[in-house]
Amino acid sequence: MSKNIVVILRKPPHGSLYPAEGLRVAVAISASETNVVSIEDSVYAFLKDADMTLYKHHLDFLKETEVPVFIDKDSLEERGLTAKDLVDAVIVKERSDILSTIAEADATLAF
Amino acid sequence: MPTISFLFFSGPYQSESPETTIELARAALEKGLNVKIFCYMDAVNCVKVGQKKVPGVTNIEEQFRELIAKGAEVRLCTLCMLVRGMLVRGTEGLIEGARRGGTPDIADMVEESDRVLVIS
C-alpha cells in the first residue's frame, strides 16, 4: 500500500524556489496518496496575481489529478489575505485540519 | 534492515546543514541501517570533486566519499545539476558512486524508507 505523503510548503515564492520545487516534487510523488499544505509565507504563491511561471503547470497537474493543495487559513489571515485572493486550484482549511492532515501522514517533505 | 532517507537541500560551506546530514547518516550506517541521501537544489554541490582542504573546516567531499564507501546511496537531482552548469559529461566531476536521479526517485525513496528526514 502506498504511503500517505504530505508536502509542506513554508517559504515565499519570491526570493526562493522552494514553493516551485515543492510542487514539482508533489507532482513526482502523486502516484502515492499525496496532499500539499501551504503555511506561513508560502501562501503568497497562490495569490491570483502571483507570477506562477515556474509552477503553474505543476499546480494545473495537481488539480487535474485531484491532489489537494490546502492553504492554512491562519497563515492567510496573519497576512491580511482571504480565500478570495487565491486561485481556484487551492482549498483553504482551518489550522486544526492542516495539523490533522500532517499528523496522519506517513512521511512529510518540508520545503 | 530499516532504511532511513535524507532529503537534503543545502550547499557546502555556508551552513552546517551538510555536516548535520553527514553526521546523522554516519550514525545510521554505524547502527546498521540502510541510508539513502537525495541531494536537492544546492546540495548537489556537496559531491563535486576537487573541494579544497582547509584546516579546521570539514571537507564535505571527503565525508561524502566516506559515506558512499560505507554503503550510503547518494542520488543527485539531475535538473538541479543542469541549471547549475554541472552536467558537463555525465557524472564527470562528481564523487564516484554518486548517481544522477530525479524527483521520481524521491517517491521511491519515501516508499522504501522507514523514516525520511528533510534537512534544509
High-pLDDT (> 90) share of chain B, %: 92
Closest residue, chain B, to A5 (C-alpha): B110
Task: Decide if A16 touches B, using CB distance below 8 A.
Answer: no
Please report, for the domain that includes residue B49, its CATH number.
Answer: 3.40.1260.10
Using CB atoms, pick whichever of A17, A21, A107 lies closest to residue B116: A107
**CA A91 to CA A109: how far, in whole Å?**
19
CB-defined contacts A:B, below 8 A: 36
- Residue A15 Cα, gap to closest chain B Cα (Å): 14
Could you tell me the residue range of the domain that residue A97 belongs to?
4-110
Structural domain boundaries, residue B67: 3-119
Per-residue confidence band for A2, with pLDDT thresholds at 50, 70 and 90: confident
A109–B111 C-beta distance less than 8 A: no
B36-86 pLDDT per residue, tens: 999 999 999 999 999 999 999 999 999 999 999 999 999 999 999 999 999
Between CA A81 and CA B5 the distance in angstroms is 37
What's the pLDDT at A90? 98
Distance from CA of B109 to the nearest CA of A (A): 10
Which residue reads 487551492 in cell numbers?
A: A90
pTM value?
A: 0.92
Residues 6 or more apart whose CB falls under 8 angstroms from that of B73 comprise B34, B35, B36, B37, B99
pLDDT at B89: 73
| Structure confidence at residue A1 (pLDDT) | 66
Q: Is A3 on the interface with B (CB under 8 A)?
A: yes
* Helix B17-30 with B60-69: angle, nearest 10 deg: 20
Residue B110 has a pLDDT of: 96
Any chain A CB within 8 A of the CB of B15?
no
pLDDT band at B113 (very low <50, low <70, confident <90, very high): very high
Of A63, A73, A75, nearest in space to A34 by CA: A63
Contact (Cβ atoms closer than 8 angstroms) between residue A39 and residue A98:
yes
Residue A48 maps to which CATH number? 3.40.1260.10
Please give the tally of structural domains in chain B: 1
Say how many domains are in chain A: 1
User: Residue B87's pLDDT is what?
Assistant: 84
Q: Could you please report the per-residue DSSP string of A37-96?
A: EE-GGGGGGGBTTS--TTTHHHHHHHHHTT--EEEEHHHHHHTT--GGGB-TT-EEE-HH
ipTM over 0.90? The verdict is no
